[in-house]
Amino acid sequence: MKILTIVGARPQFIKAAAVSRAINEYDDIHEVIVHTGQHFDESMSDVFFREMSIPDVKYNLKINGLTHGAMTGQMLEKIEEVILNEKPDWVLVYGDTNSTLAGALAASKLHVKVAHVEAGLRSFNMRMPEEQNRVLTDRISSVLFCPTENAVENLKSEGFESLSVKIKNVGDVMFDATRFYEKSIGDKARVEIDGKYLLVTCHRAENTDNLDRFKEIILALNELSKKYKIVFPLHPRTKKVIENNKIKLDFKPIEPVGYFDMLKLIKNSEFVMTDSGGLQKEAYFHQKYCLTMRDETEWVELIENKVNVLTGACSKKILQEARRISNLKFNSSTDLYGDGNSADLIIKSLINLQNYE
**DSSP-H helix ranges across 125-277:** 129-139, 149-157, 173-181, 185-188, 205-208, 211-224, 236-244, 259-268
Domains of the chain: 2-172+338-356 (3.40.50.2000), 186-325 (3.40.50.2000)
- Of 25-39, 45-59, 222-236, minimum mean pLDDT range: 45-59
**pLDDT-derived band at 41, boundaries 50, 70, 90:** low
Crossing angle (nearest 10°) for helices 211-224 and 315-325: 40
**pLDDT-derived band at 39, boundaries 50, 70, 90:** low
State the chain's mean pLDDT as an integer.
94
Please name the residues in contact with 12: beta carbons below 8 A apart, sequence gap of 6 or more.
94, 95, 97, 99, 100
What digits encode the pLDDT tens for the residues 74-118? 999 999 999 999 999 999 999 999 999 999 999 999 999 999 999
CB-CB contact of 303 with 336 (8 Å): no
Average pLDDT over residues 187-215: 94
Average pLDDT over residues 222-236: 96
**pLDDT-derived band at 273, boundaries 50, 70, 90:** very high
Average pLDDT over residues 275-281: 94
Residue of 39, 116, 203, 235 marked catalytic: 203
Tell me the residue length of the chain: 357
CB atoms within 10 A of CB 207: 22
- Tell me if residue 203 is catalytic: yes
